[in-house]
Amino acid sequence: MRIDILSLFPEMFGGVFGASITKRAIEKNILDIAITNPRDFAFNKHNQVDDTPYGGGAGMVMKPEPIFRAIKSVKEKTQIENSRVVIMCPTGKTFNQQKAIELAKYDQLIFICGHYEGYDNRIVQNLADEIISIGDYVLTGGELACMVVVDAVSRMLPGVLGSGESAPTDSFYNGILEYPQYTKPREYHGLKVPEVLLSGDHAKIAKWRRQEALRTTFNNRPDLLKTADLSKEDKIFLASLNDEK
């Protein structure tokens, strides 16, 4: 996958993309990330990318010309058909795991990271295929939000994770939260690993993990259960939890 990011602060991405899973994905040539600075496409000698809003108001607004020109340059250079332009903005739909899976199916993602008071709306209406927010809060710019999305999408690409089972067992992947995990030692300060995990009975372990995942979701994010794919056995277990509560 090719990922292009339009950002006024390219230096912000070095630490995140130069480490961990994202770095390995780049080294394996599974992921190719390029940063483009819209200032390089500004018209005047000051490389101006923002201006005062028409109609008055506080703050500055990102100008359309540098963004339009930057997007055109990226598309002409890469010439990838299966591509999607994403604007990071608090006004967008909230990002989730299903969106990460969906975005991972594209050959190219182009992210536009905003700053100041927002974008000239002609950018939004004419360049963006979709607008994404990572939560109901406002950040200084779209860079941090973009990093979150890129990290989540990268995990969905074949060959990125060390284990093929890692992604499907992540929280949210199948609509519920992940089950509790344990590792060595078997006992620490009197705290023991659940016996079922030491039993070697894979069917019992799978059942325990499913029920504990449901319990965690029930306690922490019950809203997810409204749309989760639940079996008859799942519903019976959740009913017992509700009775206990």
Is 193 annotated to bind a ligand? Reply is: no
Q: Is 185 considered catalytic here?
A: no
* Strands lying side by side in the sheet with 108-113: 32-36, 2-6, 108-113, 83-94, 130-133
Catalytic residue among 4, 120, 155, 215: 155
Catalytic residue among 102, 117, 151, 212: 117
Q: Is 4 considered catalytic here?
A: no
Is 164 annotated to bind a ligand? Reply is: no
Strands 187-188 and 191-192, bridge-based pairing = antiparallel
Is 54 annotated to bind a ligand? Reply is: no
Is 134 annotated to bind a ligand? Reply is: yes
Contact, 225 vs 218, CB < 8 A? yes
Start-to-end CA distance of the chain, whole Å, equals: 46
60 phi and psi, to 5 degrees? Answer: -120, 155
Q: Which element (helix H / strand E) includes 113?
A: strand 108-113
Catalytic residue among 90, 120, 143, 215: 90
Is 136 annotated to bind a ligand? Reply is: yes
Q: Is 117 considered catalytic here?
A: yes
Catalytic residue among 65, 170, 178, 234: 170
Binding site: which residues?
A: 114, 134-139
Binding site for S-adenosyl-L-methionine: which residues?
A: 114, 134-139
User: What amino acid positions are annotated as catalytic residues?
Assistant: 90, 117, 155, 170
